Amino acid sequence: MRYRMRMPATRSIFDILGPVMIGPSSSHTAGAVRLGLLARAILGAQPERATITLHGSFAKTGRGHGTDLAIVAGLLGMRPDDHEITRAFEHAAERGMQFTIVEGDLGDVHANTALLELSVDDSTVEIQGSSVGGGEVLVTRIGRFEAYADGRMPLLIVEHNDLPGEIAAVTRIISGSGANIAQMRVSRTRKGADALMLIETDTALPEAALAEIEALPGVLRIRAVPAV
């Protein structure tokens, strides 16, 4: 899959004047922090171990741009304007997050792409994403599934069996909770096998709705990912 340079409509003049960021590069530094931050939000915890594979321009010029520090800082929950980003490696040691940074070829993907293998409590998730410009990011793979998550809105990720009626059941609970679905995507490994729903909502879903979705037959696990 090849990503074309997006030209989103400028929603705000703060998209032009901003973000407030630790330099030097909105794509290689600020975007890299947000990629780490979004991956941490998807994992739902601070990773205990992280293997970070830098691809393309991230691999080539990442060190000079602090991409390595930036992704680690994001995994630690730092924001793109946090002065402590430059000390991210020390913070990781203090807070018990082991990490390895390697360079690798992830194939025909955006030039600024990283693969993050994150482990916590004996489970490991692979999250792949790209920094697509101006500090904006896109997670394109979560585990075995294709994804499309930019961290701009609250996101619900539902892993489930690919059964008829599953999507309707989930959206019914969401609409019943009063939340509005802004965007929804569905992907599956193959027909009838495991599938993934990615549901962006205007507001975060209430706990009760999340519990109800989690209890649906066929739902394997859910992740409620806040906006980053």
Partner 1 sequence: MAHTTFAELLEAAAEHGSIAAAALAQEVLESGDDAAAVRSRMAGHLTVMREAVALGLTGTVHSRSGLVGGDAARISDASGGPLEGVAARAIAAAVAVAEVNASMGRVVAAPTGGASGVLPGVVLTLATDRDLDDSAVIDALLAAGAIGAVIAARTNLSGAAAGCQAEIGAAAAMAAGAATEMLGGTPAHAGHAASLALQGLLGLVCDPVGGLVEVPCVARNATGAAVALTGIELALAGVRFAIPFDQVAEALASVGRTLPVSLRETALGGLAVTAAARELVGD
Residues that bind partner 1 (CB under 8 A): 5-7, 9-27, 29-30, 57, 60-61, 63-66, 69, 81, 83, 85-86, 111, 133-135
When the beta carbons of 211 and 227 are compared against partner 1, the nearer one is 227
Query: Can you state the angle between helices 67-75 and 31-43, rounded to 10 degrees?
Result: 30
The CB-of-69 to partner 1 minimum distance in angstroms stands at 8
**Three-point CA angle 54, 58, 61, nearest 5°:** 125
When the beta carbons of 90 and 214 are compared against partner 1, the nearer one is 90
The CB-of-115 to partner 1 minimum distance in angstroms stands at 20
**Three-point CA angle 75, 142, 215, nearest 5°:** 100
How large is the greatest C-alpha to C-alpha distance in the chain, in angstroms?
50
Q: 6, exposed or middle or buried, with CB in 10 Å at 0-12, 13-18, 19+?
A: exposed
The CB-of-180 to partner 1 minimum distance in angstroms stands at 15
The CB-of-225 to partner 1 minimum distance in angstroms stands at 23
When the beta carbons of 76 and 156 are compared against partner 1, the nearer one is 76
Q: How many residues does the chain have?
A: 228
When the beta carbons of 47 and 56 are compared against partner 1, the nearer one is 56
C-alpha span between 22 and 33 (Å, rounded):
10
When the beta carbons of 26 and 113 are compared against partner 1, the nearer one is 26
Residues 6+ apart with CB under 8 A from 64: none
Alpha-carbon distances, residue 208 vs 92, 133, 159, 177, 216 (angstroms): 34, 37, 18, 8, 13
When the beta carbons of 10 and 123 are compared against partner 1, the nearer one is 10
Place of tokens 């998807």: 42
The CB-of-107 to partner 1 minimum distance in angstroms stands at 19
The CB-of-22 to partner 1 minimum distance in angstroms stands at 5
